[in-house]
Structure formats: C-alpha cells, structure tokens
Structure 1
Amino acid sequence: MRIGFVLAGLGMAGSAQAQAVRQTYANPIDIDYRYNFEQVNQGVSYRTGADPAIVTHKGKYYLFQTLADGYWSSSDLVHWTFIKPSRWPFNSIVAPAVWSDGERILIQPSMTRAESILSTTDPDSGQLDFFVRRMPELVDSVGEGHVPAPGEDKVPPGPWDPALFKDDDGKWYLYWGSSNVFPLYGIEIAFEDGKLIYKGKPKPMLSLHPDQHGWERFGQDHSGTLPNGTPIQPFMEGAWMTKVNGRYFLQYGAPGTEYNAYSNGTYVSDKPLGPFEYAPWNPVAYKPGGFVQGAGHGSTFQDVNGNWWNTGTPWIGYNWTFERRIGMWPARFWADGQMAVSTRFGDFPHYAPTGKVEDPESLFTGWMLLSYKKQAVASSTQGEFAANRATDEDPRSFWVAGANKPGETLTVDLGAAKTLRAVQVNFADYKAGRFGDAPDIYTEFELQSSLDGKNWTPLAKTEAPRRDRPNAYFQLPAPVQARYVRYVHGHVGGRNLAIADLRVFGSAGGKAPAAPGGVTAKRDSDARNAHVAWKPVPGAVGYNVLWGVRPDRLTLTYQRWADQGAALDIRALNVGVDYWVAVEAFDENGVSRRTKAVRIR
C-alpha cells in the first residue's frame, strides 16, 4: 500500500521524467491514520495519530504511534506502507518505546501492569515475537538525591510513556513518566534470558518549572489555565534519549497535548542517568501557529544520509480533547551542543533530502499557500458548515456536504491564474459514526483544475489499492497554471463528507513582499513574556516571528496571519536568558528578507 500520486493531462513525457522530480512532503504526514476506539461508547469516532516513534533500521524507517493496530514502513520518509503485525496487544499500544539495536526492533508499550516487550528482526514481514513476556514491577522507592513532594513517596504505576536507549557500551536504559505531579524517571536495565532486569532503583531525571520556563505553562499560548480560567499544573511526558558527540539529550514533551503550545524540550548531560542540566535554548521543537499546531511528544532520529529529524503530535481536538495527528520536522545539533528543530513554514511542502543537508531550512520548497481565505463554493452544504470553512487554515473548522455521495464538489477560486505545485486535502470526522477495520474505510476522490471555471482538466486523484487518506498530499510532477481547484468526491468511510482545509501551494508569480519595518521587542515585568511589534507590510498574507538565544540562531518560530495584526506576545521565554528576535513577511509570491535581529529588552 504505497502512497503515490496519479496525475493526468499535465504533458508528462513518461515515468522516467516523473521519477526525476524531487520528492516533497507536507505535515500532517500522509498516512492512513487508524480510527480510534476509545470514545466509541460516547458515539464518537475519529482517526487519530499521536506520540510518534520513528526509528531507522537496516536502511529503512519504521513509524509507531498511539492506538494503531500496527505500524508503518518507508524507504524515503515520503511514502509510508502500513504493516499488519502477526501479534499485537489486545488493548493496542499507547506511546510506545521503540529502539533498533541494528539487528532487531524492540517495541515496549506504555503500561500500568505487567505486559510484554515485542521484537522483530524482519519488520517488513510483520512477524513479531516476545522479547520479554512479562515486565517486572517497578520498585516502590525513588532513588537517592530526590526530595519527594507530597504524595510522591512512591514511583507511580508504569512505566508509562517509556523510552528505551542502548548506549555505545552496550548498556540499556529506560526512561519514563507522564504526569503533572511526578518527575520523569530513568534507570539502567538489562535483558537476560528473556527477562528485563532493573539495575538499582528509579532515579528522578527532571521536572517542570513553569515559574522559570514560560513555554512549560499549560494552556493555549501558555495561558496557565483551562478554558474556564482555572489554573492547572502543566504535564510532562514523552521521554526520548538521543546521544550526539558524547552528550546525552533527554527530551520530553510539555505542557499538554490539548493546545497549540505543545512542545519538546531537552536536558543535557555527559552521563546517561545525569545529572542533567536544563538547556537555556528550550524548547527545541515549537509550533504554536499555522494550520498544524503543536510539536510535542515525539522522537528524534537520524536518516540514512546523516540528517536529524524530530517528530511530534499536532493537535486537532474537535471530536475529543486527544484527537491528533503526526508531524515531522528537520533538526540539527551544533558542535557546541545546541539542539534545534526547524518548524519555520512547518506545514508547507518540504523536500525529502537525498543527501546530507547542512541547513534544515533549505528543505523548504518555497511553494507558498495560495488558498488562504479564498472564496469556495460547494455542490451542497449541511447546516452552518459552509464551503469557506475549507480555506481558513483551521483544522477545527470545516465544510460538511449535504450528503456523503459520489459527485459532491468543493471548488476554490484562487482569484487569478497561478502556478500550482502541490495540493493537500485534509478531511474532518464530523459525526463519523463508525470505527475500526470496516471494509469501506477508505478515501477516494479526484482533483481538477481550470483557468475559467468552465473547462476542467484532471489534476490528481487517489490511486489503488484503496486506503484511508485523511491528510492526502499530492505533489504535482510539473507546474500547472490554474485559477480554480475542484475536489470531486468519490468516497470516505465516515457518515459525513467533511473537509477541514483544501490547501493549494505554488506561486502567484510576482515579487516577494518587502521586509517588515519598525520591529520592536520588549520584555514584560514577567520575564517569561515579551511583546513584539512591527509595521504591517501591504499585501502580506502572514508573518514569521523568529527568536533565539543568539542573533545568528533564531531557532524558534511563531507563524501569524496578517489579519491577526502586526504584533505578537511571546510567552515561551526562559527567565535569566537573553533573546534576539526578527520578523519576515510572506505572501503568495514568496518570503521577504528577514529583518535584522534585535535584542528583546
């Protein structure tokens, strides 16, 4: 079941020319997300993806996630094949720990009672075997050097949200934790005669400090509260260990998966069990703005070309708090030990590298969003779910057709003839009413283009074999001139045909916008916050506010739409750390020159 594209009427000379096109992808990644069964007792059914663990194994990539009934493989990080395993836990797997030791892949689910660790030496076959049949219970007492908080005198049941790590000397370690009370733990382990042996007692690794780290505050844009204003302690979870140049990067997700500010951070040590030091350039993966929001709880892996990647869990949250997808972003480690993940234009098309890439930002294709807030019309509409909701860049807002039947259409008017390079169709699960492996859970549709809205040309379509594609992405093998893009429905497995956003990428063919002027940046009396402002750029579609701990390393990005205003409150700063900020504008033609970095004072 390979992801691919079928395009017609584009003057392609043959398959050899198509293969020469540099491959791209866009977030959320295009896989057949499985239907979640957790909320079926409430009559809610939706596709979900979360807590991705990607490992490189014998030249290929394997993706595991929460509440799937199997896993995916890829040879290029673009096309993913679902693999149905020979055995799988009855209650599925949540936030698995996954590790390749070169010979086998180990798969350990989150657990609150004794469960198994599975392994495979041939992951493409789906053949899984027991590596550890029953995990031993964790010892009760916490390790030395930790003063327990009230109610924290014992290690909670688990390990929940585990991470496995094998060091260069052959020693194994286990890290885990998912709580807004308990810390993240680590312990050395060993595998002996089909058993897992704990060596010593669990040792606390790190805890959240939202009073010092602004990005660790819970809530939308780190509000620190629930929607009703009730204060809440942030959550820490999603441990992952990466060793680079003798440094141990113990990563974690915070402050909560339910909002746009979900991020990955890291502590660093020269020993696998610490002591660990907080990285002042945290968070490392941060994406609170744009269509895809949230980058926390994932994995870090190195591809076959030596490039680093970080994955995370973007938020959907319409049907249920924990309705989510999977994102993947290029990362890097500087020689001085700083880790960073590039989420700049992180939901626009990016190239999949075929060699070593020095600058992760160079993977951005430069294909701009052409569909934002454009007029859309539909063959039918259900209730208040109007066609224009499919161009607002909000996954929680969507068009619903009057009927889920073949031939229903959704047409977007780009306003003028433009150069099309890629299209992404993001479906929503509105009152889906079913779940699981029903035979009709598949996606089928065609895309068409037109210059005049009357004469239509095939643009792209889903291909056999049938499968589910809730975030279908089509890269066009050659540029196409068009003003209109039309979705022609075939089939979706849910009760309703609902599209959150039909996103069109390419170029309007003009000059890139001017750089913003008058950038000011002032820190609040609360040093975790800063206010950034700039002069609006005529015709801009949006802005990227970029900041970091050095003027030449603006590693963090918040994307803003121009209709949101020319200002941003950053609430993700670390107390006692100096920052610099710059702003760039973008429109349908390209990206402006970045302003000179100014110090946040």
Structure 2
Amino acid sequence: MIRQKTYCNPLSIADVKSGRWLDAKLTQANERDFKDYRSISDPSVVYYDGKWIMYPSYSVAYVSEDFVHWKHVDIGIPHLNYSPAVVCFRSKWYLIGHGMTEMYVADNPLGPFKFLGHMTDSDGNIIVTVDGCFLADNDRLYYYWCKNFSDSVTLDAERVVGTAGVELDPEKPWQMLGKPVMINCFDPAKTWQRTGEKNQNSRMGWIEGQWMYKRGSRYYLLYSGCGTEFSTYANGIMYSDEGPLTGFKPQKNHDPFTVKRVGFTRGAGHGCLVDGPNDTIWSFYTSIFCYNHMFERRIGMDLVRIDADGELYCTVTDTPQVAPGIICNQGDENAPNILPLTVMSRPVASSFIEGREPIYACDESVLTWWQPQPNDMTPTLTFTLGSLSCYEIRSLRIVWRDVGMETLEGIVPGPFKYVVEYAVDGKCKEWKTLIDASENCEDLCIDYREIPPTIAYGVRLKICGAPCGIQPGVVDFTVFGKCVTNMGNK
C-alpha cells in the first residue's frame, strides 16, 4: 500500500456512528419516524504533538497522524451532544458540549476526562450554552457561544441569534467573569445569513458554529448561518484588532468565508480554524447530506490563505487535495493535476432497482445512489473511459449508502467489501485488479484511496459483501486521473 499524500472531501473517517438518536432527541421526534443513518458534523479540531484530534458531534474523538486516515478513539466520554468545545489552558484540557452544563478536564487531549464543574454565570446560576468554543489567550481564558438576543436587539425578525462572549476565571474555568457581551448577530442585509435553500427568509437567520481563532495580534471569529439543513449553509468571519471581546467587523473581501451549494461538500458551515504544519491554517467544516434527516451530515476541510488585507479565505473542494505537511509551501493551488474521470459517464450495472439506476453513482449528488437488486450476488458497475484515449488513474472515491440500516433492530453499519478492476485495452475485454478490498475490515462510509499511477481504458466496481441486513448503495464512484497519449490499444 502506498503512502497517501492526498485527501478528498468529504473526509474518509472510520466508524462514523448513527446520528438518528441525537437528532430525534433535539427535534423531539420518534426515532422510528424516519430511517436510520450515519452522521458526523460540527468539528472542533486541535493539532497537538504531531496528531490531529477531532471532536465532532455524535461521538468523540477521532485521531489522525497523517491527516488522511482517521480512527475513532475512546476518551472516556461517549459523546458531548453536538459541537464540543475544547481548549488547552495551563497544561490542562477542557471539554464542554452543546446544551450541556458539565465541563470536563484531562491531562491530555485524549483523556481520560473527568467532571470538573458546571458552567456558571457571574450571578452564580448554572447555565446551558449552545455551540460553545474557548479561546486561550496567553494566561486568560474566554468562552463564546450561540445566544438569542431577541429581547435586546430591535430588528424586524422572527428571532435574533448571534455570538456572546465572556471571560472565564482561570482558576475556575467553569465560572464566568462579568456579563457576556454581544459580538455579532443576524444581519438580514447579508443575504447569505438568511434562512432557506435560496436564502429567501429575510426575517430569520441562525448564527451558530462559533469558533475564535487568533493569528498574530488579530482575532478571527468564525461563525455559520443560515441553517445546517440547507445547501446555502456557510461560514462567515469577523475580525478584531482590539481584543477578544470588542471591535469585531466583517471581512470585506471574503464574506462568506466558505460556501458551496452543489456537489459533495455543499453547505460548508459549522466548523473551526486550526494551525497545521509548516505554518499553514486549515478550515474544517460541516457538509450536508440531509436525505433521511435534516441533520444528516459529513465533514470536509481545506487550506486557508491570508490576503493582503489580513483577511482569511478558503476554497471549498470535493476533489483530491494535497494533505498537510506533504509540501513545504502550500500556496493558492493545493490540488494535484488530476480531474474526475467518471462523472456523468453512463455506467452499466449488473442490476438495479427502479429509481436507483447506475447513473446515480456518478451524478455528483449526495441525494441519489445506485442500488443493485437484492438477489444480485456480485453487483458490478462498469465505466468505459474511452476506446481511442486512455487515462492515468491516480485515486478513487466511493461513497456508500447503508440501505436498511436500523440500529434499534441490531442492523448496524460496518465494512463494505469490494474489488476495483481496470481495463487494459480499448475494447475493455481484458481486466486486471486495481484494488482488492474483498477482505476489507475497515468501516468507511466514504472510502478514498490513492493508487500507483495506472493506465486504463475503463474501470469497474465489484461489490463482494456488505454488513448483515444492509443493502449496498453507491452514492458516488469517482475515479481521478488525467488523459494521456493513446497507448496503441484498440
């Protein structure tokens, strides 16, 4: 197996859990009212001791040493609801979750964490906060969260939600010092903040996903709107050169900061900003699937740059990118010179059920998929790349759909087993093995793999096995590479 030097969004993360139990709780719904699904979102990430540690919604935590392969790790706390807040302060690590009062502490970022105290305001009241985040600024500690300001802001709106900030007691980090201040709130003049798939509701915006990042002497507040269920979900940035609680103003050149309304990373909202190797900055964000439920999501990340005015900007991607630390100078162009080769290329399938035709495996939509007939023992999906031109294949991505998943009945997700082959001749008569994952034991609902450069005229996917009770659905099968000189095979 070659060492991977690229990654591809949405991120390939092992053992993504069911999200239905938590989403049903938040929306006050019965779990059985909708089909089960996986979900991972709202990432808080730290880069520590050469490792990336991610604390997302639903289940914590995930660790990567190469920024390509992510593994689930038990930190002593199964979950922190949504959007955990994490910080290292005075050599201790602190965690608190969405809608929770409990704060936890540990000596290292992977725990074990233990209960420390309840988040308490300056009047001594235990309070619940939403989408919290910390900032350790020298020897001072600050906390930010999503707050309803409808009672204090006069605005023609259904609700006025924004960012509150306060300093915490460094000796008792659960204790707020003074009253929280409002840093920003919903601004209907900013179209991207308006709720709706087309940002049509000018009287409603949900400002959430707070994250405070400091670079030099400048403070950057990352926040999201207009709703995690919409393709228009996006991140914005305000910055201050005064301090961590005052003087914030919106970016002029890059507002919103991350946005993408089509493809596999549509709805690039709620996330974080993280320093990486070689003085780089990386943006993690939530991307939406939202088929079985409005909160069905995945995670993406991309390189952040700084313009001449000190503003941050980021291009949201869903094609292969160079991983952090691979090259010393990751400039404006972070993508290798390869393209998707199978998009809308009309594959042929061994079988399919009505409404789940093979073209849905290559239409760049997270809402559709190819699904073979249940009695198809070796489902096969075949792509012809071209008889007069051949291609050098460099990597591929498979996005799976766990059809029939039902954790309440013991039907749980797991590894899919498969083989990918490539045609060595223009007539696609002779096939050789490209990837043999027929004994795959790793549970990857998104499976991205680099391969040695391989000349091919066609590719095909053979599904060899699926978890018990689950029918395989292929949301996406994309091969990445480039066209090369015809090799003489016809």
Q: What is the TM-score normalised by the length of structure 2?
A: 0.87
Partner of residue 33 from structure 2, selected from 42, 45, 51: 42
Alpha-carbon distance in structure 2 between the residues aligned to 1:446 and 1:24: 21
Partner of residue 200 from structure 2, selected from 201, 204, 224: 224
Note the C-alpha offset of 1:424: 0.3
Note the C-alpha offset of 1:242: 0.7
Partner of residue 276 from structure 1, selected from 241, 248, 252: 248
SS of the residue 1:458 aligns to: strand
Q: Does the 8 A contact of 1:218 with 1:255 survive in 2?
A: yes
Note the C-alpha offset of 1:356: 6.3
CA deviation profile, 1:287-334 (whole Å, cap 9, x unmatched): 223332121110000113211000111111111111110000100223
Q: 2:28 matched to which residue of 1?
A: none
CA deviation profile, 1:172-225 (whole Å, cap 9, x unmatched): 0000006652321000002426x62110011111012122x22222222x4314
Q: How does 1:48-67 map to 2 (within 5 A)?
A: 48-67=39-58
CA deviation profile, 1:367-394 (whole Å, cap 9, x unmatched): 1011111111222212221111111111
Alpha-carbon distance in structure 2 between the residues aligned to 1:85 and 1:405: 41
CA 1:440–1:404 in 2, change beyond 3 Å: closer, same or farther? farther
Q: Does the 8 A contact of 1:432 with 1:494 survive in 2?
A: yes
Partner of residue 402 from structure 1, selected from 351, 373, 382: 373
Note the C-alpha offset of 1:435: 6.2
Note the C-alpha offset of 1:71: 1.0
Q: 2:75 matched to which residue of 1?
A: 85
1:97 equivalent to 2:90? Answer no
Q: Which amino acid aligns with 2:106?
A: S
CA 1:318–1:122 in 2, change beyond 3 Å: closer, same or farther? closer
Alpha-carbon distance in structure 2 between the residues aligned to 1:106 and 1:436: 36
Q: 1:196 matched to which residue of 2?
A: 174
Q: 1:182 matched to which residue of 2?
A: 161
1:26 equivalent to 2:32? Answer no
Q: Which amino acid aligns with 2:64?
A: S
SS of the residue 1:257 aligns to: coil
CA deviation profile, 1:100-154 (whole Å, cap 9, x unmatched): 348443221112x53232434162xx52233x2322257599xxxxxxxxxxxxx
Q: How does 1:565-580 map to 2 (within 5 A)?
A: none
Q: Aligned residues: percent identity?
A: 26
CA 1:411–1:185 in 2, change beyond 3 Å: closer, same or farther? same
Aligned residues: 461
Alpha-carbon distance in structure 2 between the residues aligned to 1:140 and 1:236: 27
Q: How does 1:108-187 map to 2 (within 5 A)?
A: 108-111=96-99, 113-121=100-108, 123=110, 127-130=112-115, 132-136=116-120, 158-168=128-138, 170-177=139-146, 180-187=159-166
Q: Which amino acid aligns with 2:325?
A: T
Q: How does 1:452-601 map to 2 (within 5 A)?
A: 452-462=427-437, 466-492=441-467, 495-509=470-484
Alpha-carbon distance in structure 1 between the residues aligned to 2:66 and 2:220: 26
Q: How does 1:62-77 map to 2 (within 5 A)?
A: 62-68=53-59, 70-77=60-67
CA 1:338–1:78 in 2, change beyond 3 Å: closer, same or farther? same
Q: Does the 8 A contact of 2:163 with 2:207 survive in 1?
A: yes
Q: Which amino acid aligns with 1:293?
A: R
SS of the residue 1:243 aligns to: strand
1:242 equivalent to 2:242? Answer no
SS of the residue 1:305 aligns to: helix
Note the C-alpha offset of 1:432: 2.4
Q: What is the TM-score normalised by the length of structure 1?
A: 0.71
Alpha-carbon distance in structure 2 between the residues aligned to 1:455 and 1:310: 43
1:363 equivalent to 2:334? Answer yes
In structure 1, list runs of 5 or more residues that go unmatched. Answer: 1-5, 7-17, 142-155, 226-230, 512-601
SS of the residue 2:164 aligns to: strand
Q: 2:156 matched to which residue of 1?
A: none
CA 1:440–1:286 in 2, change beyond 3 Å: closer, same or farther? closer
Alpha-carbon distance in structure 1 between the residues aligned to 2:395 and 2:274: 27
SS of the residue 1:389 aligns to: helix
Note the C-alpha offset of 1:448: 1.4
Q: Does the 8 A contact of 1:443 with 1:493 survive in 2?
A: no
SS of the residue 2:464 aligns to: strand
Partner of residue 354 from structure 2, selected from 358, 369, 383: 383
Q: Does the 8 A contact of 1:307 with 1:356 survive in 2?
A: no
Q: Does the 8 A contact of 1:58 with 1:102 survive in 2?
A: no
Alpha-carbon distance in structure 1 between the residues aligned to 2:222 and 2:385: 42
Alpha-carbon distance in structure 1 between the residues aligned to 2:348 and 2:237: 46
Note the C-alpha offset of 1:410: 1.9
Alpha-carbon distance in structure 2 between the residues aligned to 1:463 and 1:304: 35
Partner of residue 336 from structure 1, selected from 309, 331, 336: 309
Alpha-carbon distance in structure 2 between the residues aligned to 1:64 and 1:223: 29
Q: Which amino acid aligns with 1:269?
A: S
CA 1:82–1:337 in 2, change beyond 3 Å: closer, same or farther? same
In structure 2, list runs of 5 or more residues that go unmatched. Answer: 25-30, 149-158
Note the C-alpha offset of 1:405: 6.8
SS of the residue 2:76 aligns to: coil
SS of the residue 2:67 aligns to: coil
Q: Which amino acid aligns with 1:133?
A: G
CA deviation profile, 1:260-304 (whole Å, cap 9, x unmatched): 221111111120001211211211112223332121110000113
SS of the residue 2:205 aligns to: coil
Q: Does the 8 A contact of 1:342 with 1:361 survive in 2?
A: no
Q: 1:215 matched to which residue of 2?
A: 192
CA deviation profile, 1:215-248 (whole Å, cap 9, x unmatched): 222222x4314xxxxx651211000011112011
Alpha-carbon distance in structure 2 between the residues aligned to 1:200 and 1:286: 35
Alpha-carbon distance in structure 2 between the residues aligned to 1:467 and 1:274: 47
Q: Does the 8 A contact of 1:55 with 1:63 survive in 2?
A: yes
CA 1:46–1:82 in 2, change beyond 3 Å: closer, same or farther? same
Note the C-alpha offset of 1:65: 0.6
Q: Report which stretch shifted further, 436-445 or 255-264.
A: 436-445
Alpha-carbon distance in structure 2 between the residues aligned to 1:129 and 1:464: 39
Q: Does the 8 A contact of 1:110 with 1:162 survive in 2?
A: yes
Alpha-carbon RMSD:
2.7
CA deviation profile, 1:151-178 (whole Å, cap 9, x unmatched): xxxxx9631000111002x100000006
Alpha-carbon distance in structure 1 between the residues aligned to 2:87 and 2:376: 44
Q: Does the 8 A contact of 1:218 with 1:256 survive in 2?
A: yes
Alpha-carbon distance in structure 2 between the residues aligned to 1:291 and 1:114: 35
